[in-house]
Structure 1
Amino acid sequence: MPELPDVEGFRKVLSEHTGAPIRAVRVRDPGILRGIGARQLADALRGHRFEQPRRHGKWLIAPAGGPVLMLHFGMTGSLSWHSPDEPLHRHDRVVWQFDDGELRFRDMRKLQGIRLADDETQAERVLSDLGPDARDVSRARFDKLLSGRRGRLKSVLTDQTFLAGLGNLLADEICWHARINPQRAVGDLDDSDRAALYGAMRRVLRESIKAGCVPSRDTWLTGARDEPAGPCPRCGTPLSSRRIAGRTTVWCSGCQPS
């Protein structure tokens, strides 16, 4: 599932192909479009040039000299660059054609998709319900946001109105690095807990952005979370799991006591 580090990687892909005119837009599956038709999208972008894209949480925002392309990758989306003669994948939904290659939006499940805002003001309205980007939030604001929340830590961390960009893997990894149980009530966290969470978030995001995803490392929770009752990479205690907020949550009862 694409989370903040993955979308940051997609942003870098797009940023390498700005400034060139878009020769054509091929919508191979209009079911990926949200609020716009295939012909409208093609007509609005043909001949335009992508400017430097930005990311907010799991959204990729690409100004194009007026209209603003907005991509959300859901659970299975990706954006990649290809030569024109490379065969299309069956899940390539939209293709932007340039003189020297193609950008392809690929998505198997189509849970989110592609929007087109008329301008930056309209794009900001689409994003208005999101919290601050998890990579950019300051410690002071992080503490302030936590102080106004109720519920379990895992549910809060994955709530995009709290912080934008954290998904299931990142939230579990951050809690594990901070040695805090994801089932803890946010209201019970003290200043040292919040400091540990913030520090863990910064470290995990920094390393994950370098890798372009939440990396599967033997020394991280990701290296063991898919093994049934696998050992904690830190202390060897069998890992625990349960569903929280509809997602499988994994933690170590030894390192992350209730």
Structure 2
Amino acid sequence: MPELPEIFNIARQMNKELFSKKIILVDVRQEKCLNMPANDFKSLLNNKIIGPITSRGKWVFVKLEPDAYFLLSLGMGGNVLYHKSGEELPDKYHLKLEFHDDSILTIGFWWFGYCHAVSAYTLETHKMTSKLGLSPIDEKEFNYDSFDSVLQGRRGNIKSFLMNQKYIAGIGNVYIQDILFKAKLHPNRKIPDIAENERRKLFEAIRTNLKEAVELGGLAYEKDLYNRPGRVEDFLVGYRETSPCPECGTEIRKIRTGSTATYICPSCQK
């Protein structure tokens, strides 16, 4: 499942390839991924000019000039692929956008995903994106004070908080593993019990871990816009059950935290 680093890179690549292009054809092969009937969706996208393309959390925001947005979430995984004129297309996809220069964008989901269209006037009420939290890749928006502010008054465990998209957008069950290890925090640690120095360490772990993943192009088993894999292959504790902790040598354990699994060093993470 793609998380912030993968989506950030895809959005950046889409902006490079698609900005200012005109959509001339919309081919919907799976209407279930839309937020409206296929004909309405096509009408909203057809003949629009692509504006700036950005991301927040696990969503891509495509501005459609002058007054609409195309919103994309890969859900549990999928491919967004760019094809130059004449290049072979994948056998299966759920949505295809053709542009005035004969280039094509195909989108396919492995399990489920979302291709939504909204007017610029209703973007702020779009249920799945309007309440997304802080973007930890944005240095102006995500600073220690803003991070500490959203922690105030929370009483649950730290893992659940970090994965709640309305507080911090983009962290999932992959990157959370080494973030918590770097911060030396147990996933079930209650937020009120985390001291300020530990909060600062967690803040830095979030920033550095995600920034490094972005620079490496995301996870090795996820693909970018050009069908190339990322270069994040190794984890400190994530998915390394029974291996020795890289800092103290204690055997890494896999535990259940709610409905998800977490990999921890029982000695380092308290």
Q: Normalising to structure 2: TM-score of the pair?
A: 0.86
Aligned-partner Cα distance in 2 for 1:240–1:228: 5
2:15 is aligned to: 15
Query: Which deviates more, 235-244 or 140-149?
Result: 235-244
Q: Are the structure 2 counterparts of residues 151 and 41 from structure 1 closer, same or farther at C-alpha, using a change threshold of 3 Å?
A: same
The offset of 1:165, in angstroms, is: 1.0
The offset of 1:91, in angstroms, is: 4.2
Q: For each residue in 1:52-72, what CA deviation from the matched residue of structure 2 results, as whole angstroms up to 9, or x when unmatched?
A: 112111111111011110111
2:214 is aligned to: 209
Count of residue pairs brought into register by the alignment: 251
The letter of the residue matching 1:184 is R
The offset of 1:84, in angstroms, is: 4.7
Matches within 5 A, 1:33-72: 33=34, 35-65=35-65, 66-72=67-73
8 A contact 2:26–2:98 mirrored in 1: yes
8 A contact 1:60–1:72 mirrored in 2: yes
Aligned-partner Cα distance in 2 for 1:177–1:91: 40
2:252 is aligned to: 239
Aligned-partner Cα distance in 2 for 1:114–1:163: 22
Aligned-partner Cα distance in 1 for 2:200–2:240: 30
The offset of 1:225, in angstroms, is: 3.1
Pairwise CA RMSD: 1.8
Q: Are the structure 2 counterparts of residues 92 and 233 from structure 1 closer, same or farther at C-alpha, using a change threshold of 3 Å?
A: farther
Instruction: Select which of 144, 157, 170 maps to 1:152.
Output: 157
The offset of 1:184, in angstroms, is: 0.8
Aligned-partner Cα distance in 1 for 2:184–2:255: 17
Aligned-partner Cα distance in 1 for 2:181–2:7: 23
Structure 1 spans left out of the alignment, 5+ residues:
none
The offset of 1:92, in angstroms, is: 1.5
The letter of the residue matching 1:7 is I
The offset of 1:19, in angstroms, is: 0.5
1:167 is aligned to: 172
Aligned-partner Cα distance in 2 for 1:203–1:227: 21
1:89 is aligned to: 90
The letter of the residue matching 2:49 is R
Instruction: Select which of 261, 265, 268 maps to 1:248.
Output: 261
Query: Which deviates more, 231-240 or 57-66?
Result: 231-240
Aligned-partner Cα distance in 1 for 2:60–2:259: 25
The offset of 1:232, in angstroms, is: 2.3
Q: For each residue in 1:178-223, what CA deviation from the matched residue of structure 2 results, as whole angstroms up to 9, or x when unmatched?
A: 12211211110000110000011110111011122155454x32xx
Q: Normalising to structure 1: TM-score of the pair?
A: 0.90
Higher helix share: 1
Q: Are the structure 2 counterparts of residues 179 and 123 from structure 1 closer, same or farther at C-alpha, using a change threshold of 3 Å?
A: same
Aligned-partner Cα distance in 1 for 2:205–2:240: 23
Q: For each residue in 1:130-181, what CA deviation from the matched residue of structure 2 results, as whole angstroms up to 9, or x when unmatched?
A: 2221223221011111122111111110001111111111222211111221
Structure 2 spans left out of the alignment, 5+ residues:
220-230
